């Protein structure tokens, strides 16, 4: 259930960040930004060179669902070709890569969630992913005196059914404690990420 960093390929996009890695520029009209406005979050630079982060604009109660981690659903075979490089790309993979580059979307694999059953949610494409893609890592345990930067949400899986009565496994961010306005939203990515 943990976020997994998979691959290191990038289109030639964006500007170098503190780590000199190329990151795409996420337009304000993207679904990722628009969903943050709707749900009461601000997307802005995070401290400590973490790139962009999601910050609460309202008080959030302990146990509240903040939002759903959405994105393109990929099969293991697609992930192997598009991110891991362990399978040869087919014409669909090449079309996917070309579309991402033309739309200035990243192709790093840093936003993949392994859902099990050889399915992944890829939150990297800001046109189809929610603001939850901007939640950064923090250790699970709070460091004394640093409550505002420690892990304050966790990822939970929930089953739902679509209009065709097909089961879907979905991911949500849930508050572990009360979160004050201006607080960065962070969760523990888990050992598999690093």
pLDDT band with cut points at 50, 70 and 90 for residue 163 = confident
- The pLDDT value given to residue 146: 55
Q: pLDDT of 112-157, one tens digit each?
A: 989 888 999 999 999 999 999 999 998 775 555 555 557 999 999 8
Task: Give backbone dihedrals phi and psi of 184, rounded to 5 degrees, phi first.
Answer: -70, 140
- Per DSSP, the three-state class of 160 is strand
Sheet holding 65-69, edge to edge: 65-69, 167-175, 153-161
Kindly tell me if the per-residue pLDDT of 19 is higher than 50.
no
Rounded percentage of the chain residues whose pLDDT exceeds 70: 80
Give 168 or 75, the one with higher predicted confidence. 75
Please give the mean pLDDT across all residues of the chain.
82
β-strands 52-56, 41-45 pairing: antiparallel
Q: Is the overall model pTM greater than 0.75, yes or no?
A: yes
Classify the C-alpha dihedral 60-65-71-75 as positive or negative: positive
**Residue 194 binned pLDDT confidence (cut-offs 50, 70, 90):** low
pLDDT of residue 16: 38
């Amino acid at each position: 259930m943990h976020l997994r960093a998979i691959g290191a390929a990038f289109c030639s996009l964006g500007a170098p960040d503190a780590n000199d890695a190329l990151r795409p520029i996420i337009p304000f009209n993207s679904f990722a930004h628009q969903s943050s406005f709707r749900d009461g979050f601000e997307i802005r630079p995070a401290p400590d060179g973490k790139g962009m982060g999601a910050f609460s604009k309202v008080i959030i109660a302990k146990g509240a669902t903040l939002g759903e981690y959405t994105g393109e659903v990929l099969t293991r075979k697609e992930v192997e070709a598009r991110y891991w490089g362990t399978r040869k790309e087919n014409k669909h993979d090449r079309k996917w890569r070309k579309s991402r580059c033309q739309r200035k979307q990243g192709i790093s694999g840093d936003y993949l969630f392994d859902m099990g059953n050889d399915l992944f949610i890829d939150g990297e494409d800001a046109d189809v992913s929610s603001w939850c893609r901007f939640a950064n890592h923090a250790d699970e345990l709070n460091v004394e005196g640093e409550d505002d930067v420690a892990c304050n949400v966790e990822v939970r899986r929930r089953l739902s059914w679509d209009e065709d009565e097909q089961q879907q496994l979905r991911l949500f961010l849930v508050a572990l404690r009360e979160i004050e306005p201006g607080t960065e939203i962070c969760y523990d990515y888990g050992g598999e990420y690093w």
